[in-house]
Amino acid sequence: MTPLDAQTAREQLSHLPAWALDSERGAISRSLRFANFAEAFGFMAQMALVSERLDHHPEWFNVYNRVDITLTTHDANGLSERDITWARAADGAYAAFTRNGG
């Protein structure tokens, strides 16, 4: 898979302000907080299905109501369009979860 060039990555990430770029690794990350474990796990279950659909899988860590996510494309050794697509979907899913009671 082809990695994004630096300029495209910067442009795409300007639309994803909650995500932090690790340019050394070619990865982005975001930490999410939910009302409780059930909400956090519900988000993960939803994004697990999205991951299968996109054939793109996160590196993530969950403890109680917190989900720490890192996205990188192993096949590209850096960031690809798939990371951006996944991050957008995650932002949308998270917004829906927090809207419904947070």
Ligand X SMILES: C[C@H](O)[C@H](O)[C@H]1CNC2=NC(N)=NC(=O)C2=N1
Question: C-alpha distances in angstroms, 49 versus 15, 27, 64, 76?
Answer: 24, 21, 21, 22
Pair 81, 11: CB distance under 8 Å: no
How many of the chain's residues bind ligand X (CB under 6 A)? 6
Judged by CB under 6 A, does residue 24 bind ligand X? no
Residue environment code for 49-61, b if the CB has 16+ CB neighbours within 10 A, otherwise e: ebbeeeebebebe
Judged by CB under 6 A, does residue 55 bind ligand X? yes
Among 39, 56, 70, 84, contact with ligand X (rule: CB under 6 A): 56
Closest to ligand X by CB, 22 or 75: 75
Judged by CB under 6 A, does residue 57 bind ligand X? yes
Closest CB 12 distance from ligand X, rounded Å: 16
Closest to ligand X by CB, 5 or 75: 75
Closest to ligand X by CB, 13 or 39: 13
Question: C-alpha distances in angstroms, 24 versus 6, 27, 77, 80?
Answer: 11, 8, 11, 14
Q: Which residues bind ligand X (CB under 6 A)?
A: 55-57, 73-75
